[in-house]
Amino acid sequence: MFGKLKNDDDAAWAKANVRASWVLGAARLSSDALWCAGAQGLRKVEAALFMLGYGLPLLRGNRESLACGLGMET
């Protein structure tokens, strides 16, 4: 559903952004979670996903970098 986006393709980025908003909005509405309810619920989900992505280690194609970033032993 979401292919890799190029930096120079604003139309593709906008289309993927709209699709992602639809998916997140539908997931939020079907959830019973109170933290993402209300008028700012979608923004809270987006912020949570941003923070998850911010905390993920860069994957360099080996298990060690992933395991180290997740606090696991290899």
In percent, the amount of the chain with pLDDT more than 90 equals 27
Compute the distance between CA of residue 3 and CA of residue 15 in angstroms, rounded to an integer.
11
36 CB burial (10 A radius; 0-12, 13-18, 19+): buried
Annotated domain spans of the chain: 10-69
pTM tops 0.85: no
For the segment 27-46, what is each residue's pLDDT rounded down to a tens digit?
Answer: 999 988 999 999 999 999 99
Q: Which of 36, 30, 1, 4 is nearest to 18 (CA)?
A: 1
d(CA 11, CA 39): 27
